[in-house]
């Protein structure tokens, strides 16, 4: 059986006029009309504005932040004083952007995650940064991970000690998204009120603070701005402290509770795109006198992909809805959403690559890009096994 090659030449099966992506989930009871309007409006915007040119990722990210800000979409990435983050909106935006362009999703997500602690716990003064990140005129990052503290945040070694009228910070942070292009970071450092998790605090750290340097830019398989940062006697004023001393771990976990569901949503967007690509491809590829999609074995794969996508969507929007309804902690729901959505998206995308034959691994094809883009989501913001730990702990009390 010979499987012919296809147009379009770059294998991008997105057909803007046909609107391939399944949007039936928007009628689920988790959503309000404003969510449906948001999804439709952003999808239309993204179809005209994306994908961005990724050749220079720093420039691409800066441009995307500016455009997402000008379009009004970044308003949803943070919460002004008295407002709360709408997690369903965050998830819808990430899912939609990821379906169109992974870097656009990254640019949006980091404005939210970077300033997440300020959205949840910031003072009115600290929220001045939010005005800028939500307008797209400043870029943010979340400096949590360290060379010796990845999954185990309680091992954070970066120190912040009182001195020089405020706090003096020393240490290193690594794998910091937007490192090198951010204007501001939220950083978690050890202030020592107690050992382990109870001795950490959160601070607002402007990128131009003397003593903060980019030690290394890190290149990864799906390029985005990423860096290893060094802090040498960085002095921050008292007003830089977010929440109270010793609350840094809880602040970081609360931020992750919100944003872990949104990582699942990004994975969902990638998976939906992969299914769209696979449907288009198998529906057009001639095979054995018919089409590839005529074969039951291929249909079985397509069915499994759709099933995993719907299951992931249900878990994601359950978690987001629970948070928006006021459930104080959604650790278990968010962990389930992130774990299932990222792991299943990897499988969906892998199958989409398989159904493309040789073109699946060819540079320039959407599924090849998705295959590289999905991998990191099973690691960052809590690797899959960390999510299993969180779920198991909630079961065992």
Summarize as ranges the residues that interact with ligand COS (CB under 6 A): 142, 144-145, 151-154, 197, 249-250, 253-254, 256-257, 329, 331, 380-382, 386, 389-390
CB of 99 to ligand COS, least distance (A): 23
> CA–CA separation, 243 vs 238, rounded Å?
11
Give the residue with the Cβ less far from ligand COS, 52 or 186: 186
CB of 1 to ligand COS, least distance (A): 45
CA angle 286, 289, 293 (to 5 degrees): 50
CB of 208 to ligand COS, least distance (A): 22
382: left (phi over 0), alpha (psi -120 to 50) or beta: left
CB of 363 to ligand COS, least distance (A): 28
Give the residue with the Cβ less far from ligand COS, 95 or 381: 381
Residue 32 has a CB neighbour count (10 Å cut-off) of: 13
DSSP for 127-187, written as a single string: HHHHHHHHHTSS-EEEE--BTTBSS-GGG---EEEEETTEEEEEEEEEEEETTTT-SEEEE
381 in catalytic set: yes
Please say whether the beta carbons of 91 and 317 come within 8 A: yes
Query: Which residue stretches of the chain are H helix?
Result: 33-49, 57-70, 87-100, 102-114, 116-121, 127-135, 248-284, 296-324, 331-355, 366-375, 384-396
Give the residue with the Cβ less far from ligand COS, 235 or 379: 379
Burial class (CB in 10 A: 0-12, 13-18, 19+), 291: middle
Burial class (CB in 10 A: 0-12, 13-18, 19+), 289: exposed
CB of 287 to ligand COS, least distance (A): 43
| Token duo for residue 42 | 């952003």
Look at residue 174 and give its three-state secondary structure. strand
Look at residue 110 and give its three-state secondary structure. helix
Give the residue with the Cβ less far from ligand COS, 64 or 256: 256
DSSP for 212-259, written as a single string: EEEEEE---SS---EEEEEEEEEEEEGGGEESSTT-HHHHHHHHHHHH
CB of 195 to ligand COS, least distance (A): 11
CB of 249 to ligand COS, least distance (A): 5
Give the residue with the Cβ less far from ligand COS, 14 or 318: 318
Give the residue with the Cβ less far from ligand COS, 203 or 249: 249
Q: What is the DSSP secondary structure assignment for residue 23, as one 8-state letter?
A: -
Select which of 95, 277, 333, 381 is catalytic: 381
Give the residue with the Cβ less far from ligand COS, 373 or 381: 381
Give the residue with the Cβ less far from ligand COS, 62 or 198: 198
Question: Closest by alpha carbon to 90, among 114, 73, 104?
Answer: 73
| Token duo for residue 144 | 């949590």
Please say whether the beta carbons of 188 and 201 come within 8 A: yes
> CA–CA separation, 248 vs 68, rounded Å?
30
CB of 335 to ligand COS, least distance (A): 9
Residue 26 phi/psi, 5° resolution?
A: -65, -15
Catalytic positions, written as ranges: 381
């Amino acid at each position: 059986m010979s499987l012919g090659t296809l147009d379009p030449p770059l294998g991008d099966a997105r057909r803007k006029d046909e609107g391939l992506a399944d949007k039936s989930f928007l009628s689920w009871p988790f959503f309000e009309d404003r969510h449906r309007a948001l999804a439709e409006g952003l999808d239309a915007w993204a179809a005209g504005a994306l994908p961005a040119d990724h050749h220079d990722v720093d420039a691409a990210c800066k441009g995307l932040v500016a455009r997402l800000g000008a379009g009004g979409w970044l308003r949803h990435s943070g919460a002004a004083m008295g407002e709360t983050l709408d997690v369903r909106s965050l998830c819808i935006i990430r899912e939609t952007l990821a379906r169109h362009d992974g870097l656009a999703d990254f640019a949006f997500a980091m404005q939210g995650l970077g300033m997440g602690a300020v959205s949840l716990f910031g003072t009115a003064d600290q929220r001045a940064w939010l005005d800028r990140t939500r307008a797209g005129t400043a870029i943010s990052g979340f400096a949590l991970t360290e060379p010796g503290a990845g999954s185990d945040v309680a091992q954070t070694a970066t120190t912040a000690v009182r001195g020089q009228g405020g706090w003096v910070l020393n240490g290193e942070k690594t794998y910091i998204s937007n490192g090198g292009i951010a204007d501001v970071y939220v950083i978690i450092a050890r202030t020592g009120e107690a050992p382990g998790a109870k001795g950490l605090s959160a601070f607002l750290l402007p990128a131009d603070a003397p003593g903060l340097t980019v030690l290394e830019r890190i290149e990864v398989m799906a390029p985005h701005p990423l860096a290893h940062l060094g802090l040498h006697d960085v002095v921050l004023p008292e007003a830089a402290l977010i929440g109270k001393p010793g609350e840094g771990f809880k602040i970081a976990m609360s931020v992750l509770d919100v944003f872990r569901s949104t990582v699942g949503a990004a994975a969902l967007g990638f998976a939906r795109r992969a299914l769209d690509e696979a449907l288009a491809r198998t529906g057009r590829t001639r095979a054995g006198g018919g089409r590839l999609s005529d074969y039951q074995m291929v249909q079985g794969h397509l069915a499994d992909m759709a099933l995993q996508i719907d299951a992931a969507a249900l878990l994601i929007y359950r978690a987001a809805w629970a948070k928006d309804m006021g459930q104080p902690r959604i650790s278990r729901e968010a962990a389930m959403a992130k774990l299932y959505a990222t792991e299943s998206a990897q499988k969906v995308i892998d199958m989409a690559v398989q159904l493309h034959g040789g073109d699946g691994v060819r540079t320039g094809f959407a599924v090849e890009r998705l295959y590289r883009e999905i991998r990191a989501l099973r690691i960052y913001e809590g690797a899959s096994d960390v999510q299993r730990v969180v779920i198991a702990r909630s079961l065992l009390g």
